Amino acid sequence: MRILLVEDEARVAGFIAKGLREQSYAVDIAGDGEEALYLAAINQYDLVILDVMLPLKNGHAVCRELRAGGFRAPILMLTARDAVDDRVAGLDSGADDYLIKPFDFKELLARLRALARRSGAPRPEVLTVAEVAINTASHAVTCGGRPVTLTAKEYALLEFLVLHRDRVLGREAIAQHVWDESFDPLSNVIDVYIKRLRAKLEGAGRRLIHTRRGEGYIFSAEGAGE
């Protein structure tokens, strides 16, 4: 998942982003309301974490403008204000959930998982294709029954491929969901990570990640390319 984190306190934003990236999320950070609207307009996000107290435009205004513009991804609002009227204002502006600062990071992760479940088709806890099994809660991966050790980014790429198995995924789609705004579209980083995954999954005895020249990649138990 690719997340837009809108937080003007650099220390807090850095702490949250670091924790999310360690959990295989791709994270872009906006430091004010105007930047948040700009990033949401040019990128595709699966979820937004939105602070209320922001420079230029507050979180409520940002949330209303996003919804008015057709933005449909879940929005989790963060605030130090815990009065009922404040929570109601946030939900009425278009937020899907509300989390009071300070919060336990485990609760933030749980709420993100819950929002992700609500926003699309139910995701099974274990994804299985051929000999590969992925536990989406623990991020444990096995291939032919043996554990496979993956970095956070390798896991994020594999999960995205498996969730869209038997579909050709272009580099742009992969970059939009697995990498953040620092991704260089002219680099070969996606090809490098595909090569790493293939090497780690080769114990399956057959190629599962196939290349479609000029189109992208497809994860399939059937022969679907090179």
Three-class SS state of 211: strand
Lowest average pLDDT, out of 71-85, 87-101, 126-140, 201-215, goes to 201-215
| Residue 183, CA distances (Å) to 40, 104, 168, 194 in order | 16, 30, 21, 16
Strands (E), 92-145: 97-100, 126-129, 132-135, 141-143
Looking at the chain, the whole-number percentage of residues with pLDDT higher than 90 is 43
In a 13 Å sphere around the CA of 152, the CA atoms on its Cβ side amount to 12
Kindly indicate the confidence band of residue 158, based on its pLDDT and cuts at 50, 70 and 90: very high
Provide φ and ψ at 149, rounded to 5°: -90, 120
Q: Are 156 and 188 in contact (CB under 8 A)?
A: no
Tokens 């204000």, located at residue: 81
**pLDDT tens figures, 159-182:** 999 988 888 998 888 888 888 777
Using left for φ > 0, alpha for ψ between -120 and 50, and beta otherwise, residue 70 falls in left
**pLDDT tens figures, 28-73:** 999 999 999 999 998 889 899 999 999 999 999 999 999 999 998 9
Residues 70, 76, 82, CA angle at the centre, nearest 5°? 130
> Does the global pTM surpass 0.75?
no
pLDDT at 109 (0 to 100): 92
Cβ-in-10-Å burial (0-12, 13-18, 19+) of 203 comes to middle
Kindly indicate the confidence band of residue 143, based on its pLDDT and cuts at 50, 70 and 90: confident
